[in-house]
Structure 1
Amino acid sequence: MELLPSLLSTLRSVDPGTLDQEYSAVRSQTSVLKRDLCLTTEAGALKENIKKNRYKDILPYDQSRVLLSPLSSDSDSDYINASFIRGASSDHRYIASQAPLNSTVTHFWGMIWEHKVKVIVMACREIEMGKKKSECYWAPVHQLAAFGPFTVYTQGETRPNEDLVVRALTVSHQQDSHSLIQYQFLSWPDHDIPYEASGVLDLLERVRSSEGGHTSPLLIHCSAGCGRTGVICALDYIHDLLVTKKITADFSIMKIVLELRSQRPSAVQTKEQYQFIFTAAALMFERVLRSAERPPRHNQSKPKKPEKKTRPVSSINRPPQETDMSDTYAVVNKPKHHNPPSPSSAHSGVATPGSSSQSRMLPPSHHYDNDPSGVPAVPIYSTVSPRVKPLSLTHSATPIYDMATPASHNGEYNLLPADCPSPADDEYEDLSSSVSDVTNLCSPGGIGFNCRIQKPRGPRDPPAEWSRLER
């Protein structure tokens, strides 16, 4: 655990150019490994097995491929395009497999049955970019589907989030049955990476929870069983290093990927996938460090109970039942005849949704523009202005609105204090009743009419009340 801060700092500081060079070295050293370890792919290249491969250039090594028994094969062949991969804590920790074809679904379920697989991670969709990437090897919810001698029943299907589908399956053969869980991750494009690393780490946490203490291999597959499958294997391998405390100062993601590639061809298939492992590993280390800091906080929570009664600054001197509307609405021209504000609070606060934390930094009482105490006798109105720059208040260094949205004139405006500069007169209407500003608006002696409304060209009819005869 003492190494994690330094390892995390190293992962964060890796230059993208360095990662490019590392991945090029991974590809070149893969050929060296294949030669030095005498790795072959003869079984997958046999004429009777060629049709069982989804891709002709992704064949399992003979030294690590999964062998089928006659129970799982409809012929004398023991071949399936799947490989055993060693983990940090056991020899047969993973089975990296291609997605089953229509002609190999029976072999796929036979492999699951023989090795008592409890959890399947499916890192692809059935169809991607208009191409079929995997055969559907399960049944609809609450229905049965037969695949050779195996019968599969789908007990239930849930969607914990938009990225994940979880299916509870039961496979039966003769008089026996076996239950397992399938996690299908939907947000991982082929030859690409997910839009965020947290989704993959959350997936692996669910997988480990479902495995429990079971020692059967974790079955992972995408379409070819190398790119996305290799990334998941690498991240789970790193997690096992942390759990078993086998992580050392010479920790190297490059070494882990090369170890995977010595057992499954093209594991971690692209440069972007290689870089993604660094991003996800850094997030994993952050989570472990945060979780290690939690126990002391829980132990100190009891003596800190009285602090829970402390009220926020924005609610001081207010009745408990009063609703604080300053977090949602701007207050303009609302008379206030008591509790005059101090001069230091002479700005009207404007809060936008999602900025309640900043708005609570404002003084506890509002300042109203037409307060008779401490302000000019002539009412002051707020100026309507497009959101061009973040409005910085004197008592808060952070903007009071969300900076994630780019500033634009898409109908979004802020209410600014009257002492802020006004926009150009030819763009927006300027409303003011300050006598000193009259010369900037209309003709001398004007009373602050809207400059875009023309003066009447003739006398107006007097109101009807003026023409009544008093009796």
Structure 2
Amino acid sequence: MTPTTTNSRRAAASLPPWLQHAVDSPAHIGSVIKTLSIRENQRRIASSQHLIDDNGADHHLNPARSMLAMLRKQPNLASFYSVSVGISPQNIDKNRYIDIEPYDRSRVLLEQDRYLNASWVQELYGNRWWIASQAPIPETSHAFLSLLLQPSTHPPPSLLPTPPQSPHGSQVRTIVQLTMNVESGRRKAHAYFPEVVGQTMIIPPEEGSYLPPLKLTLLNQEVYETAHCVRSTVSLSVLSRTSNGQAQAPKPPPFSPSQPRHSVGGSSDSGSDDDQYFADDETSRVTFTHLLYESWPDHGIPKLEDQASLLQFIRLAHEINKEQPSGSPSHPDPPFVVGCSAGIGRTGSFIGLSSLLRTYGLIESDVPTVDVLRQSLNPQDIVESPLGPLPASMSDDPVAREIDSLREQRPGMVQRNEQALLVYDLLVSAFKGELQAMTR
């Protein structure tokens, strides 16, 4: 028997009982995936109730009669899973995909009622709050970046039955991107900062807005090979319209996203009209970190040989998010913004994995290591699903519970079956890796 085999058996024997059961019982995992799929389809039908006529006829959804009966008995289902804001005429073109909108109750709110296809999501076990977002499109890049300018960002009171523990100083400073900008020849994300260190990009607000444009400068870029990560450090500031160096009092005409985005050199005498027309408001300037993971294909999972890098990337992201800028009073561990293309499949998998890895102490965290099956969350902080609890056979499976909880807060989280399987597989790999390291 080789040492590797011995270590592997020691690790396998030390897996949590629920995870060992999942490894040994494909039927259990199959049942979990089927149940989660049924519940997500029920949410989808509830959120689309407005498309269903009185006879239950809908050519797009073709809902089951049983679900229609449930909707009639529980009218709160439609309001709980409503996506009315995202499908409204003024916002529908701001969604990257026509069938993915945030739930009204958990969507990210911005000043001036600006719309963003992004949701506040609370992981079930670690209790961390995240902002899960689609990759912004040109019409929403300004709103997306404005989120980082807010000095304090936390979920709205409607999602916080109890006051937030750190209501001040929680300025977002880390963005995790899980998609390449172009994959297989298709646009999956739009760039909102320059590609070359020292260059500057100007982002105008959405059409009809009188808000000032934003200036982004790429300060530094690093590659972490083992984590398959590109780390970009970006400066973000507000531009003020000027005339001969003096701020103008009248409102400027609105900018249109159809205007070209301007990339200029880092020097102040670049000759750009924008440099002459606008002044950089240094008091508004913030610096954020953008982390790009390069090995997660759309509609799939990382290749087997790349999966170790994903664990490294999750660890790295948490370490970097805790890095406080020099002299900054920022929160020591503020919320992330995390997104892929639609902000659901890869995004949900990343959040679910992070929750369980931190809770089990498999990545460094301020969250105490606990037995997640015995953890007692504050009942006031848990919103019961209108669909009812998961079957008793799944009540002891943290992966099933985590995914179902994420889907309650943003449609389609951990979108594909293979992504749910990836969560199980990477947890097994993480436990084995930790245990093998201890037995060397």
Which of 359, 369, 377 is equivalent to 1:245?
Answer: 369
Map of 2:285 onto structure 1: 177
Mapped pair 1:49 → 2:91: yes
**TM-superposition CA deviations, 1:247-284 (whole Å, max 9, x none):** 33424211110000001100011111111111011112
Deviation at 1:52, TM superposition (A): 0.2
| 3-state DSSP of counterpart to 1:60 | coil
Shift of 1:216: 1.9
CA distance in 2, matches of 1:215, 1:158: 22
Contact 2:338–2:347 (CA under 8 A) maintained in structure 1: yes
2:218 equivalent among 137, 154, 166: 154
Q: 2:43 and 2:90 mapped to 1: Cα distance?
A: 28
Residue 174 (structure 2) aligns with: 119
Q: CA deviation at 1:222?
A: 0.5
Q: What is the aligned counterpart of 1:259 among 405, 412, 421?
A: 405
Q: 8 Å contact 2:22–2:28 — kept in the other structure?
A: no
Q: 1:189 aligns with which of 288, 291, 297?
A: 297
Amino acid at match of 2:94: K
Going from structure 1 to structure 2, the CA distance change for 1:11 and 1:91 (only over 3 Å counts) comes to closer
Deviation (angstroms), 1:31: 4.1
The structural deviation recorded for 1:150 is 2.0
Q: Relative to structure 1, is the Cα distance of residues 205 and 67 closer, same or farther in structure 2, using a 3 angstrom cutoff?
A: same
> What is the CA–CA distance in structure 1 between the aligned matches of 2:285 and 2:14, rounded to whole Å?
45
Aligned pairs for 1:97-112 within 5 A: 97-112=133-148
Q: Deviations over 1:422-459 (max 9, x none)?
A: xxxxxxxxxxxxxxxxxxxxxxxxxxxxxxxxxxxxxx
Q: Could you list the per-position Cα deviations for residues 74-115 of structure 1 after superposition, in whole angstroms to 9, with x for gaps in the alignment?
A: xxx421000000035776621110001111110110122223
Q: Work out the number of aligned pairs and report it.
A: 287
CA–CA separation in structure 2 for the residues paired with 1:261 and 1:214: 28
1:13 paired residue number: 24
| 2:425 corresponds to | 279
Distance in 2, Cα, partners of 1:40 & 1:3: 43
After TM superposition, give the deviation of residue 8 of structure 1 in Å: 4.5
Match of 2:36 in 1: 26
2:319 to 192, 209, 214: 209
Q: 1:151 to 1:247 in 2, by over 3 A?
A: farther
The one-letter code sitting in structure 2 at the alignment partner of 1:159 is V
Mapped contact 2:232–2:289 kept (Cα < 8 A): yes
Residues 222, 228 of structure 1: 8 Å contact kept: yes
Secondary structure of 1:183's match?
A: strand
- 1:171–1:179 Cα contact (<8 Å) kept: yes
- Give the percent of matched residue pairs that are identical in Structure 1 and Structure 2: 26
- Aligned pairs for 1:128-139 within 5 A: 128-139=183-194
Structure 2: how far apart are the matches of 1:271 and 1:90?
Answer: 23
In 2: Cα distance, 1:261 partner to 1:224 partner: 14
2: distance between equivalents of 1:224 and 1:126?
Answer: 12
2:201 is aligned with 1:145: yes
Cα distance, 1:154 vs structure 2: 1.0
Q: Give the Cα separation in 1 of the matches to 2:126 and 2:296.
A: 28
Aligned equivalents of 2:314, 2:174: Cα separation in 1: 11
The alignment's C-alpha RMSD in Å is 2.5
Contact 1:84 1:92 in 2 (8 A): no
Alignment partner of 1:80 is 2:144: no
CA contact (8 A) 2:126 2:356 kept: no
Q: 1:390 matched to which residue of 2?
A: none
Structure 1 residue 25 displacement after superposition: 1.1
Secondary structure at the aligned position of 1:210 is classed as helix
Counterpart AA for 2:233: A
Structure 1 residue 120 displacement after superposition: 1.0
Q: In structure 2, how many angstroms separate the alpha carbons of the residues matched to 1:146 and 1:91?
A: 36
Offset, 1:123: 0.5
Structure 2 unaligned runs (5+)? 1-10, 47-75, 154-170, 205-212, 239-280, 323-330, 362-367, 374-395
Which letter does structure 2 place at the counterpart of 1:172? S
| Aligned-partner Cα distance in 1 for 2:225–2:333 | 28
The structural deviation recorded for 1:226 is: 0.5
Shift, 1:122, TM fit: 0.4
Q: Which residue of 2 aligns with 1:39?
A: 81
Q: What is the TM-score when the length of structure 2 is the normalising length?
A: 0.61
Please state how far the C-alpha of 1:289 moved relative to its aligned partner: 3.4
> How far, CA to CA, are the matches of 1:117 and 1:14 in structure 2?
41
> Which has a greater percent of helix?
2
Structure 1: which amino acid aligns with 2:86?
G
Is the Cα contact below 8 Å between 1:88 and 1:241 reproduced in 2?
Answer: no
Give the aligned partner of residue 310 of structure 2.
200
Higher relative contact order (CA 8 A, sep 6+): 2
